[in-house]
Amino acid sequence: MQHDQLKQDVGPEILQQRKVAIVGYGSQGEAHARNLADSGVEVRVGLRPGSSSREKAKAHGIPVADVGDAVAWADLVSVLIPDPAQPGVYEESIEPNLRPGATLLFAHGFNVHFGAITPPENVDVVLVAPKSPGPMLRREYVAGNGVPSLLAVHQDHTGEAEAIARSYAAGLGSDRAGVLTTTFAEETETDLFGEQAVLCGGASALIQAGFETLVEAGYQPEVAYFECLHELKLIVDLAYEHGLTGMRSRISDTAEFGDYVSGPRVIGEESRAAMKQILEEVRSGDFARRWIKESEGGGGEFQRLRAQAQGHPLEEVGSRLRARMAWLNGDES
Ligand code: NAD
Ligand code: MG
């Protein structure tokens, strides 16, 4: 990096002058609300009347209101409910109550980028996306650290959109770990590509294919499970902490040599062509349209695919083996 793109000199002061409504109190919502409150920001949580999260937020000392009332009260509205639920709640309770000049903040660009939510012209629209699940965002803040965040401005009505978003990121603690400027398009497209091609889809398919190859060749499923799934954690942890070179310097020379000669055969031309195709479907909006239609239509295909995946032989072997791993606390949820 030529200069430090992650550094910022904006603190939580701008946000301390504003009222913040956090809509949703799940993974991100709880962490945002509590970190901001602890950073001296006035926060209210907006939830549905019957929401089971109401008691939890109150127990954490955060006032709770109906979504519409919290939005009408706020200078900044942070939309932290699940992405598929956002367009409905936005239309019904957020947009009708948004104050002119307010800031609308998202933690993922999906709905705005693909046009499922079109905010009015008289508000700022920004993105602050922490690169971690909510519990880690909270834990690091409490420990005096932070997790990095991506930041983007979609619409700057007030001329202060970026400064407000930076102040929000600082309130979360992300100024301590780094705030990287991006766009709604880049955040959304790379996020979808990453989870499909590498993190979730690619990694799961790699594990299953390796497992199937060994089992079909007559090896014990238990041994195949350890080899193709269980030990992956060790390798991922090493790469996460030390990069690929650092990981390779910590495995045996045999494993490292095999890595170089065989890895590119597994992920060869065919896989790269599939990755390009997946990226194209993400960029064109084809995947987003398919997913929105699927969510709106009751999720029939989604349920079918989920049931099919849950029936994979690797799942049964794995749950038996994990039940005896005391360090997992028997957590099979
Ligand atoms: P979540 O599923 O953990 O939280 C959902 C919350 O919204 C719950 O409190 C739930 O009760 C409430 N809710 C659900 N439906 C609702 C409705 N119709 N009306 C009102 N409230 C409703 O969600 P999350 O994982 O925290 O995701 C929130 C946003 O943050 C998403 O845009 C997501 O893409 C983004 N994000 C998530 C992570 C992550 O690691 N979880 C990381 C970065 C960004
Ligand atoms: Mg992601």
Pocket of ligand 1 (CB under 6 A): 24-29, 47-48, 51, 53, 80-83, 85, 89, 107-108, 129-130, 133-134
- 103-106: strand order across its sheet: 64-66, 42-47, 19-23, 76-79, 103-106, 124-130, 149-155, 179-181
**Which ligand gives the minimal distance to the CA of 70?**
1
CA of 190 to the centre of ligand 2 (A): 8
How many A from CA of 34 to the centre of ligand 2?
22
CB contact set of 211 (below 8 Å; sequence gap of 6+): 221, 224, 225, 228, 229, 313, 314
Chain-centroid distance of CA 11 in Å reads: 24
178 pLDDT higher than 50: yes
Q: Ligand 1: which residue has its CA nearest to atom 2?
A: 82
| Residue identifier of the C-alpha nearest atom 21 of ligand 1 | 24
Catalytic site positions? 108
Give the mean model confidence (pLDDT) for residues 311-332.
88
208 CA from centroid of ligand 1 (Å): 29
Whose alpha carbon is nearest atom 13 of ligand 1? Answer: 81
d(CA 233, CA 240): 10
The encoded tokens of residue 233 equal 């954690």
Task: Show contacts of 191-194: CB within 8 Å, 24+ apart.
Answer: 191/108, 191/109, 191/110, 192/110, 192/282, 192/287, 192/288, 193/275, 193/278, 193/279, 193/282
Question: At 157, is the secondary structure helix, strand, or coil?
Answer: coil
Q: What is the 48 CA–ligand 1 centroid distance (Å)?
A: 13
Ligand 1 atom having least distance to the Cα of 88 = 18
The CA 220 to ligand 2 mean position distance, Å, reads 35
DSSP-assigned letters across all residues of 76-127: EEEE-S-GGGHHHHIIIIIGGGPPTT-EEEESS-HHHHTTS----TTSEEEE
Question: Residue 329 has what pLDDT?
Answer: 72
Averaged pLDDT for residues 312-329: 94
- Residue 1 pLDDT > 50, yes or no? no
Atom of ligand 1 nearest to the CA of 67: 20
The tens digit of pLDDT for each residue in 20-73 reads 999 999 999 999 999 999 999 999 999 999 999 999 999 999 999 999 999 999
161: CA distance to ligand 2 center in Å?
23
Among the atoms of ligand 1, which is closest to the Cα of residue 81? 7
- Identify the DSSP state of 131: S
**Atom from ligand 1 closest to the CA of residue 48:** 20
| Residue 331 pLDDT | 57
Predicted local distance difference test score (pLDDT) of residue 7: 83
Pocket test for ligand 1, best of 80, 97, 110, 192 (most atoms within 8 A of CB): 80
What digits encode the pLDDT tens for the residues 247-279?
999 999 999 999 999 999 999 999 999 999 999
pLDDT tens-digit readout, 208-237: 999 999 999 999 999 999 999 999 999 999
pLDDT band at residue 332 using 50, 70 and 90 as cut-offs: low
For the entire predicted model, the pTM comes to: 0.92
Q: Which residue, judged by its Cα, is nearest atom 41 of ligand 1?
A: 133
- Supply the residue whose CA is at minimum distance from atom 34 of ligand 1: 108
| Residue nearest (by alpha carbon) to ligand 1 atom 42 | 133
